[in-house]
Chain A
Amino acid sequence: MVLFSQCIGAPRGVSQCTSRSTRPTKRSATHVVATAVTALFAAAIAALPTSPALAMNIQTVKSPGGIEAWLVEDGSVPLVALRFAFVGGNSQDPNEKPGVAHFVTSMLDEGAGDLDARAFQERMEEIAMKMSYDDSRDLIYGSLQSLSENLDESAELLSLALTKPRFDQDAVERVRGQLLANLSFASKSPQQIATKAWFKAAFGDHPYGRETNGTLDSVKAITPDDLHAYVKANFARDNLRVVAVGDISAERLGALLDKVFGGLPETADLKPVADVTLPTGGKQKVIELDVPQSVALFGLPSLARKDPDFIPAFVLNHILGGGGFSSKLMEEVREKRGLAYSVYSYLNPLDHSAIMQGSVATKNEAIAESLDVIRAELEKIAKDGVSPEDLKAAQDYLTGSYALRFDSNSKIASQLLGIRVEELGLDYVNTRNKQIEAVGVTDVKRAASRFLDPDDLITVIVGKPEGIEVRG
């Protein structure tokens, strides 16, 4: 949720502002029981929400060197946002050394080419360039933001970072210290302990079950050679996806693509990752931690992004737990019973598996009740599907709010990169609302019958929960 930049005060994000709701997911939706809305707003409710046209022209740009990108040209702000991803991600970590990909993403502003860390970082600041990286189970994400006037200089540094990272020993040791400190904090954070344990319980020895940021032992053992090896195998042109938004022409982007990415090897050397399904039959684990509030993570097998029933499943999730204050989980757990500040669910379609995940945090003595309520909602929706009213409300929100995802250059860039990575096609921004509108109650019911079995729930609770049974 949007919190003010000004509200964030102390190290590690102590908030000075307090907001009505926060959720760690970008998704947002709704269902509405639109029965008793009176006079003033009745007309508004009855009318179809508009789906504002996305007045965007997405061009496909191919560089002279053969690198393809999507571009939305917009000169109204003197900025260029370049977003890219390399397919691979944490799953490409060496089996015995989880955390290499994460280490690499933490090192890419620590010196490249002739510039050591200090020279590189000062140069970035002089040209006011912003470059950041993130890693996920399937992808490494990169982001460049540059003032138009400094674009060439920014591209130069970005190219160096990707093609000639130095991984100097002293910089490696410094970042290692930071990564180890992060792991220490994570080892005391209920949310992070639960996440780690949930993926282990769900995926076991599969690469998805590994600790994405590594372990104290693995991070201590990672060498500069490991980092170079990862970059060599994973940063290539054939697994690269690029989009650009802002103050740049197609021609200039073409030249820039070759300058930045042209020095990468043509093909990545990726290890095969097996497809994996979650175990069925359910599990419930408790990890003791002396905190007043238990944090629970729950999840189930779900549907792949390319599955024809993915969109119905997505709409279902909005109604269940994706739609903020309009969702069933929020209604039952928070609004009716006051059991939690935050409760939600979301679909997480990975490249080699598909899951629905969710979370709730409730004081230790009442966490069992929260989980019972959540399970009951899952059972209800699995058995009965959704009502036409709930479906309509979800569709109205999802289609009406789609334009809100495209109201800034950086948001447009994120959306486009997501569409490219999922291989949904250039036309997706125009067809997406139609796909949502086409979903009927029978589609939702069919989707639910294909994955939503509450007996398969894998739940991890961290805290000192009362009345929780351990299973599986």
Chain B
Amino acid sequence: MNRSGLPRHLLPTFFALAMLMLAATLQSPTADAQSRVSEFKLDNGMQIIVVPDTRAPVVTHMVWYRVGAADEAPGVSGIAHFLEHLMFKSTDKIPMGEFSKIVARLGGQDNAFTSQDATAYFQRISKDRLKDVMAMEADRMVNLRLTEKEVLTERDVIEEERRSRIENRPESKLAEQMDAVLYKSHPYGTPVIGWMHEISSLTQKDALSFYKRFYAPNNAILVVTGDVVTDEVYELAKETFGGIPGNPAVPSERFRPAEPPHIAPRRVTLTDPRAGKESLTRYYLAPSYGTAEGSDAEALEVLMKIMASGTTSRMYRSLVVDKKLASSAGGWYSGSSRDSGKISVYAIAADGQDMETIESEIDAVIAEVKANGVTQAELDRAKKSLRAEYVYQSDSQASLARRYGWAVTIGQTVADVDAWPDDIAKVTAEEVQAAAKKYLDMNSSVTGLLLPAPAAKRADKQPAQAVPPRG
């Protein structure tokens, strides 16, 4: 639980490298960044991004595929993530289950993850082992071998993963339900890990056909950060990945059904005796960095910083500090997806406070921003804070690699990433207010309530103390 509501998703596509070179002021960090990041493309279509950071003699090596859960066919939800697990099984050269052990034996760490838009594999390792892990990653790009037994055992693992992440946590169950309701047509409404009943029937054949369709150099991005010489990485990549032919069957367009107009607010209530406290969460459909017009995404970033992020935010001040309706309250903008973004706000009820009053107050805070905008002081503080945050986040070569890889898989460019700090600096108070008016629209929202017990049965319910003015 994060009491202060520090941003969880912070800085969607940012980037960070610029900050390594940053002089003592935050005026214009981007020029340095552009001089540090290099991009290449191999003849087989594989994209390469290299970001040197020589502070420690180690590298972060990532291969990203432009495929995620939202690219799954109906009925096989979870196959993107299932395949990600199976990628660690075996190839002609790697005996069953040895992939991670070999990396470890070389003194490296490895893992992988799947999101709606991307699947990524990475190793962190001593710089003189880059060649070895690159060879292993190239090998499993096309030579994966599976056996029925290993596939079925791994499916059991994934069912346990789903129990750990979702079934055992009421707040995760509610979030999953809310996403399913937020998206009427687009596959972002289906959970990345998949629905349990569909996970249970995934097969080796499903995994291999997904693999053959999407895993190829022309659908991949190599990102290397760390103590490297850019030209050497390029040569190494050419030797290692360059020999793998591109696959013309990889879909050239990522087709996802578009959302129809949203014309009515929706509500989801989950009553679960394992919920700790009554809480409210609301999602609004919003553009992402990939789909936003003009500076809408940056304006939403600044808006949510002012309105809902941390103890200085309006939401916290109003609900927690002044009116004492909630023990915590906040929100954020999630813009780092390909087809759609999301605005989230939440509040956890203080003892004796009812959800209706809390919801009214959230609405009042939102209505105030829509009606009167934000102050210059708030705007300055928020922009400074967002820009400083990526300075802090720039401290890690692993997060550098993730930011570039993430951005490119959702359709942005390295230049977009590098321009982010300046784009934030340009956001005006008018743009923030306009974004609030345009996107904090109840008709494109889902409000979720998590209740420990049915409200009617509660004998100890006290009347609300503070009824906020509406407005």
A interface residues with partner B (beta carbon < 8 Å)? 1-21, 28-34, 36-41, 44-45, 49-55, 74, 76-79, 106, 109, 117-118, 121-122, 125-126, 128, 130, 145, 147-149, 174-175, 177-178, 180-182, 184-190, 289-293, 295, 323-326, 331, 334-342, 361-363, 393, 396-397, 399-401, 403-404, 406-411
The answer to whether B93 and A39 have CB atoms under 8 Å apart is yes
Bound-complex Cα distance A174 to B378 (A): 23
Q: CB-defined interface of B1-36 with A at 8 Å, one 1/0 digit per residue?
A: 111100011111000000110111100000000000
Q: CB-defined interface of B384-403 with A at 8 Å, one 1/0 digit per residue?
A: 11001101111111110010
A341-B161 CB under 8 A given contacts A181-B348, A325-B100, A403-B57:
yes
B1 CB contacts on chain A under 8 angstroms? 12, 181-182, 185
B342 CB contacts on chain A under 8 angstroms? 9
B11 CB contacts on chain A under 8 angstroms? 5
The answer to whether A148 and B24 have CB atoms under 8 Å apart is yes
The answer to whether A32 and B102 have CB atoms under 8 Å apart is yes
The answer to whether A7 and B108 have CB atoms under 8 Å apart is no
Which chain A residue lies CB-closest to B384?
A128
B385 CB contacts on chain A under 8 angstroms? 125, 128
The answer to whether B111 and A2 have CB atoms under 8 Å apart is yes
A190 CB contacts on chain B under 8 angstroms? 168
B156 in contact (CB, < 8 A): yes
The answer to whether A177 and B344 have CB atoms under 8 Å apart is no
Q: CB-defined interface of B145-161 with A at 8 Å, one 1/0 digit per residue?
A: 00000001111111111
B10 CB contacts on chain A under 8 angstroms? 5
B84 CB contacts on chain A under 8 angstroms? 20
A16 CB contacts on chain B under 8 angstroms? 115-116, 192, 334
The answer to whether A341 and B112 have CB atoms under 8 Å apart is no
B47 in contact (CB, < 8 A): no
B88 to chain A, nearest CB (A): 7
A215 to chain B, nearest CB (A): 15
B interface residues with partner A (beta carbon < 8 Å)? 1-4, 8-12, 19-20, 22-25, 55-58, 81, 84-85, 88, 93-95, 97-98, 100-102, 104-109, 111-116, 124-129, 132, 135-136, 139, 152-161, 163-165, 167-172, 175-176, 192-193, 226, 273-277, 279, 281, 310-312, 317, 320-321, 324, 327-328, 330, 334, 336, 342, 344, 346, 348, 350-351, 381, 384-385, 388-389, 391-399, 402, 406, 452
Which interface residue of B98, B107, B126, B344 has the most chain A CB atoms within 10 A?
A: B107
Sampled A-B contacts (25; CB under 8 Å): A5-B11, A5-B393, A6-B115, A9-B8, A9-B175, A11-B279, A20-B88, A30-B104, A32-B102, A32-B104, A41-B94, A77-B20, A78-B23, A125-B381, A145-B392, A147-B391, A180-B327, A335-B153, A338-B160, A361-B164, A399-B107, A401-B107, A403-B58, A407-B396, A408-B396
B384 CB contacts on chain A under 8 angstroms? 125-126, 128
The answer to whether A338 and B155 have CB atoms under 8 Å apart is yes
The answer to whether A18 and B161 have CB atoms under 8 Å apart is yes
The answer to whether B97 and A335 have CB atoms under 8 Å apart is yes
Contact partner of B276 among A184, A331, A404, CB < 8 A? A184
The answer to whether A188 and B275 have CB atoms under 8 Å apart is yes
Which interface residue of A188, A289, A323 has the most chain B CB atoms within 10 A?
A: A188
Bound-complex Cα distance A190 to B169 (A): 9
Bound-complex Cα distance A186 to B8 (A): 20
Which interface residue of B57, B113, B159, B312 has the most chain A CB atoms within 10 A?
A: B113
A50 CB contacts on chain B under 8 angstroms? 107, 126, 128-129
B452 CB contacts on chain A under 8 angstroms? 188
Bound-complex Cα distance A100 to B461 (A): 29
B393 CB contacts on chain A under 8 angstroms? 5
Which chain A residue lies CB-closest to B116?
A16
Which chain A residue lies CB-closest to B346?
A11
A3-B113 CB under 8 A given contacts A147-B388, A407-B56:
yes
Which interface residue of B108, B111, B112, B135 has the most chain A CB atoms within 10 A?
A: B111
A30 CB contacts on chain B under 8 angstroms? 100-101, 104-105
The answer to whether B126 and A52 have CB atoms under 8 Å apart is yes
Which chain A residue lies CB-closest to B448?
A10
Bound-complex Cα distance A2 to B81 (A): 16
Which chain B residue lies CB-closest to A56?
B56
The answer to whether B277 and A185 have CB atoms under 8 Å apart is yes
Which chain A residue lies CB-closest to B389?
A128
B394 CB contacts on chain A under 8 angstroms? 77
A147 CB contacts on chain B under 8 angstroms? 388, 391
A182 CB contacts on chain B under 8 angstroms? 1, 3
A164 to chain B, nearest CB (A): 19
A181-B276 CB under 8 A given contacts A17-B113, A18-B165, A400-B108:
yes
The answer to whether B24 and A404 have CB atoms under 8 Å apart is no
Bound-complex Cα distance A9 to B335 (A): 11
Contact partner of B163 among A79, A289, A363, CB < 8 A? A363
A18 CB contacts on chain B under 8 angstroms? 81, 113-115, 161, 165, 192-193
A5-B111 CB under 8 A given contacts A49-B105, A74-B55:
no
A339-B192 CB under 8 A given contacts A12-B171, A188-B275:
no
A121-B168 CB under 8 A given contacts A6-B9, A41-B94, A323-B104:
no
